Amino acid sequence: MRKAIAAGLLALGFLSSCSNDGGGSEPPSIIGTWDAVELQLDANTATQDELLASDFLRILAARNCYILALTFEANGEATAENSFDYLDLSGLAVGNFDIPCPTQADADSGTYTYENGVVTITDAAGATSSVNVTLSGNLLTMDLEGSVFADQISGGQLVFRKR
């Protein structure tokens, strides 16, 4: 079950992301590397698995351990690096939430566009997905409600911070 949550977060992260370079009057840019730092959920409607995934992401990010990173290049290339398959959750069974930061990651590549608050990703297999995003300073907030990710996370927002 925990691996399913991690796989869902991977899909969420790879298929979207953005942020503002703070470049004055220039339009916001998503070019750069972004780390997933928070999964914001409504505690009244989120499932236990979703709340657990949110907790894991928060705990790890607080220790500067980022298990999902997205890089958007100026040439339209996008890369997602994730460490979900390398999380050691064995201590959870005995109440140990000191999850070690993985040292390995898997990478996936594709292309992207960003227009009018929507990021569209085309993966290596040619599948295309879009998600609404909001840029604020060095944060990108991805709206999961009604997105292509609704089957993995029922709603909420995934927040990324620019490195």
Say which CATH class 2-162 falls into. mainly beta
One pLDDT digit (tens) per residue for the chain, 163 residues: 334 343 444 444 443 333 334 445 565 689 999 999 999 998 888 888 889 889 889 989 999 999 999 999 999 999 999 998 999 988 888 888 788 999 999 999 999 999 999 999 999 999 998 889 999 989 999 888 766 566 667 678 999 999 9
Q: What are phi and psi of 131, to 5 degrees?
A: -150, 145
| Segment 90-121, tens digit of pLDDT | 888 888 878 899 999 999 999 999 999 999 99
Secondary structure of 67-82 in the HEC alphabet? CEEEEECCCCEEEEEE
Quote the CA–CA distance of 137 and 125 in Å, as a whole number: 33
Quote the CA–CA distance of 133 and 117 in Å, as a whole number: 5
| Segment 72-83, tens digit of pLDDT | 999 999 999 999
**What is the domain partition of the chain in residue ranges?**
2-162
Distance from first CA to last CA of the chain, Å, rounded?
A: 30
Closest by CA to 156, choosing from 32, 12, 29, is 12
